[in-house]
Amino acid sequence: MRRIPRKVQVEDDAGNVMRYLKHENGEGYVSPYATVHPDATIEAGAYVEAGARVAARARVGRFSWIDLDAVVGPRAHIGDAVHVGVRGVVGDGARIGAHARLGEDIRVEPGAVVLPDAVVPEGTVVRAGRRRGDFGTAA
């Protein structure tokens, strides 16, 4: 059985040390300055940064990164190896495919779908009811 450390520390390029705690539901790591609902799942290798919020029944896939001040709504599903950029918002029940890259200040409407490997430029609004593989529909 492999052992997952309860706490980790990571040093960034500027020499700042960030600390993370293992989330009880999944084996991912959460900044002590983030808010993650106990019913959310943070999979192994995933990180949730300071100021981010992950709501009830949301799932953050393996090796995904929820950046500073980002929001993942209730029942949202973040695939594996996804980056949700700074201040990005993923709405209630939205689905983000594996390896997608969501830029800063994006908004994925409730129930919207971002396809795997999509790149969503900063400031984009992805509308519900339309599947787009490149970036979604701009507001």
The domain limits of the chain are: 35-127
Distance CA 35, CA 52 (A): 6
Q: Which of 19-28, 34-43, 85-94, 116-125 has the lowest mean pLDDT?
A: 19-28
Mean pLDDT value across residues 6-18: 81
Mean pLDDT value across residues 112-134: 85
CB 78 within 8 A of CB 84: yes
Mean pLDDT value across residues 21-35: 94
More confident residue, 62 or 4: 62
Q: Name the helix (H) or strand (E) containing 38.
A: none
Whether pLDDT at 1 is above 60? no
How far is C-alpha 35 from the chain's CA centre?
12
Instruction: Specify the CATH superfamily of domain 35-127.
Output: Hexapeptide repeat proteins (2.160.10.10)
More confident residue, 8 or 50: 50
Question: What is the model's pLDDT at position 138?
Answer: 39
For 35-78, the pLDDT digits (tens) are 999 999 999 999 999 999 999 999 999 999 999 999 999 999 99
Tell me the residue length of the chain.
139
CB 123 within 8 A of CB 103: yes
Mean pLDDT value across residues 89-102: 98
Q: Which of 1-5, 65-69, 106-110 has the lowest mean pLDDT?
A: 1-5
More confident residue, 6 or 110: 110
Question: What is the model's pLDDT at position 17?
Answer: 84
Whether pLDDT at 115 is above 80? yes
Of the candidates 72, 27, 32, 33, the residue with the CA atom closest to the CA atom of residue 46? 27
Measure Cα distances from 64 to 20, 107, 137 in Å. Answer: 14, 17, 23
